[in-house]
Amino acid sequence: MADFHFLRPYWLLALIPAMLALFYMLRQFKHQSAWRQFVPQHLASKVISDAKGSRRSAVFIPFFCLLLAIIALAGPTWKKLPQPLYQAKKGSVLVMDMSLSMLSTDLAPNRLTRARYKALDLLEQLNEGEVGLIAYAGDAFIISPLTKDINNIKILLPSLTPEIMPAFGNNPYAALNLASQTLANAGFNQGHIYWITDDIDREDMADIAQWHKDNGFTTHILAIGTKAGAPIKLPNGELLKDDFGQIVMPKLPVDRLKTMAKQLGGVYSTVTADDTDIERLSLPMLTDVEKEENQMQQSGDKWQEFGPYLVLILLPALLYLFRRGVLLSGLIAVLLLSPQPAYADTWSDLWKTKDQQGKALFNAEAYQDAATTFTNSQWQGSAYFRDGDFENALKAFQQGDDANAYYNQGNALAQLQRYQEAIEAYNQALELAPDHQDAMHNKKQIEELLKQQQQNQSDQQNQQEQQNQDQQQQDQQQNQQQNNSEQQQQDSEQQSSDSQQQNQQEQQNQQEQQQQNAQQDEQRQSAEEQAQEQEQAQQQDGEQQQMQQVDAENADDEKSKEEQQKHQQILKKVTDDPYLLLRNKMQLEYQKRRHQTSSKGDSKQW
């Protein structure tokens, strides 16, 4: 009973007129009893009714019924109905300082390593809502847009180093401004920015304070380093020196960072060996969540109302008072005994618009019903998109002509694998809102996907051409072998013909042997020598053809090996290293920004 309260406590104010009515009825009862002093006692029993108990019941029973009715209308309750789990809708951005001073060794092994570990611990606390990641040095870049997948940010954190930043320096103003744009583009009017840094210049403090007045996002600062400072150890092992050849010793400006955190409305904490710093930073976020949960409990909690059950006690009294109206009292009791609320479309339309009803269905993840309820085309498209009906989502988004409408069209087209049209939609969104970070990010992702597909198609085409060339070479080799076989057959026939002629010649020589013995011997020797020379020539021709065939096959094998080596070298150039991907991504974005006006910020190189 600790949770006992009234759902409609203002109905208890009706007890005031009820008490006044009771007082009036009791006073009337007293005036009626005064007649006894004027009527003789032997006539009083005949003239004045002595139904004192009946008169009291006529007063107290109606008052009792009225009291129960008022309490029932006030809605007594003490039992809460189960509700879906509350999910906080909030946005947070983690801003990481990637200037060279983060390589200072006053914290083992250096400030950067300690900052990474603290960022991972902070992400564990930010386990609800959407979180983004921004890194900055001479300029600021979005490493990860707002997402509920914190594991994606955890994967990217180890790849962040000052060496991958396109420009050295320390420009926190650009990073904070980019963080506020990211939150605003995602629809967050309020949010938390967690700034992990080791330095701030006096020249930047005024600009950052003005930025906070213009945007209003709460910014917390986690200071990395010590007041004593330490040299900056570069990746090549050397110590960073200034223009005068002196070793740079960056010290932590604690006072300036504390002042800055106070102006930004956030919490300041210096890095500690335990989790005290993370708990201090996450306390405001947890407090905001508790406030939102309390507001939700006060406005959205459902309690089981026990007021209607009081009618069961009220019913016998009503039957007693309305003996001739039992049916009417029963009808009233039936109307009051309806603890379950009845919902109707006309009733909902009376108190909520279609878009408000659709929003409630959307929050309840009834996306199909929400899509048919919404009248706003963009909300309707969002419901279709969440439901996986990308065709209808695209049709709904196409009814809008602002930047967000074109951005949503691009998302729907990308899901439908119509990538070129998606890029055109993102371009239209960027024409209307050049600072739309989500549109720029998604456009880059689609362009990279198209490039990869084109590369794959090109590789497949090259592979097909190589296969065709190999097939042609095989056909040529077969034709050459066939020609060699025919040539050998012709040579064999020629040898057979020569042999027949030789036999005939020998027969003739034998016939003439008796006449010209000397001439016959010379001719026979000459014929034998010619035959031997011809056979040797044929043998040499066959060996030469075999050597040419072997040389051609070896040349084809060497060419095939060279092509395979080229393909392997191309494949080796493709990498999935997050370090290289982040570096190339930021380098391209930085080159696009160079023609624009330089942003505010300090120009020092560490």
C-beta separation of 442 from 186 below 8 A: no
Residues in CB range of 585: below 8 A, 6 or more apart? 141, 444
With H, G, I as helix, E, B as strand and everything else as coil, classify residue 129: coil
pLDDT value for 525: 61
CA–CA–CA angle 313, 319, 325 (5° rounding): 140
With H, G, I as helix, E, B as strand and everything else as coil, classify residue 239: strand
Here the tokens at position 549 are 């065939």
3-state percent breakdown (helix, strand, coil) of the chain, nearest 5: 65, 10, 25
Residues in CB range of 59: below 8 A, 6 or more apart? 22, 25, 26, 29
Q: Rounded to whole angstroms, how far apart are CA atoms 405 and 17?
A: 58
C-beta separation of 578 from 153 below 8 A: no
Q: Rounded to whole angstroms, how far apart are CA atoms 488 and 538?
A: 9
| E strand or H helix at 426 | helix 419-432
**Mean pLDDT of each 10-residue bin along the chain, 606 residues long:** 81 89 73 53 53 56 82 85 54 94 93 95 86 94 92 91 92 95 89 94 93 92 94 91 89 95 94 91 62 46 78 75 49 44 46 78 84 87 87 90 88 87 90 87 85 76 70 68 61 54 58 58 59 59 58 57 60 57 82 64 60
Here the tokens at position 454 are 């084109």
Q: Rounded to whole angstroms, how far apart are CA atoms 87 and 85?
A: 6
Cα separation values, 578 from 119, 157, 164, 216, 585, Å: 18, 10, 11, 33, 10
Q: What is the CA radius of gyration of the chain?
A: 48
Residues linked to residue 6 through DSSP beta bridges, in sequence order: 76
pLDDT value for 37: 52
* Residue 98 CB neighbours (<10 A): 29
- Looking at residue 556, the DSSP 8-state letter turns out to be H
- Residue identified by tokens 């057979």 is 496
CA–CA–CA angle 513, 514, 518 (5° rounding): 55
pLDDT value for 137: 94
Q: Is 105 exposed, middle or buried (0-12, 13-18, 19+ CB in 10 A)?
A: middle
Q: Domain boundaries in the chain?
A: 5-83+305-326, 91-298
* Residue 543 CB neighbours (<10 A): 10
- Residue identified by tokens 């879906």 is 84
Residues in CB range of 271: below 8 A, 6 or more apart? 107, 114, 115, 118, 222, 223, 224, 225, 277
Task: Render 371-393 in DSSP notation, one character per residue.
Answer: HHH--SHHHHHHHHHHHT-HHHH
C-beta separation of 587 from 166 below 8 A: yes
| E strand or H helix at 304 | strand 303-304
Here the tokens at position 113 are 């390593």
The CATH class, in words, for 91-298 is alpha beta
Query: Which runs of E-coded beta strand occur in 30-107?
Result: 76-77, 79-80, 91-97
* Residue 207 CB neighbours (<10 A): 16
Half-sphere exposure of 570 (CA within 13 A, CB side): 12
| E strand or H helix at 500 | helix 437-513
C-beta separation of 471 from 560 below 8 A: no
* Residue 486 CB neighbours (<10 A): 10
Would strands 91-97 and 5-6 be described as parallel, antiparallel, or unpaired? unpaired
pTM for the model stands at 0.45
Q: Which one-letter amino acid corresponds to residue 551?
A: D
With H, G, I as helix, E, B as strand and everything else as coil, classify residue 222: strand
* Residue 589 CB neighbours (<10 A): 15
pLDDT value for 5: 84
CA–CA–CA angle 157, 162, 165 (5° rounding): 95
Task: Render 152-186 in DSSP notation, one character per residue.
Answer: HHHHHGGG--GGG-SS-SB-HHHHHHHHHHHHHHT
Please provide residue 192's backbone torsions phi and psi, each rounded to the nearest 5 degrees.
Answer: -115, 135
Please provide residue 95's backbone torsions phi and psi, each rounded to the nearest 5 degrees.
Answer: -110, 120
Q: Rounded to whole angstroms, how far apart are CA atoms 585 and 432?
A: 24
pLDDT value for 327: 38
CA–CA–CA angle 352, 355, 356 (5° rounding): 40
pLDDT value for 375: 87
Q: Which one-letter amino acid corresponds to residue 369?
A: D
Cis bond before residue 166 (omega within 30° of 0): no
Q: Rounded to whole angstroms, how far apart are CA atoms 212 and 265?
A: 9
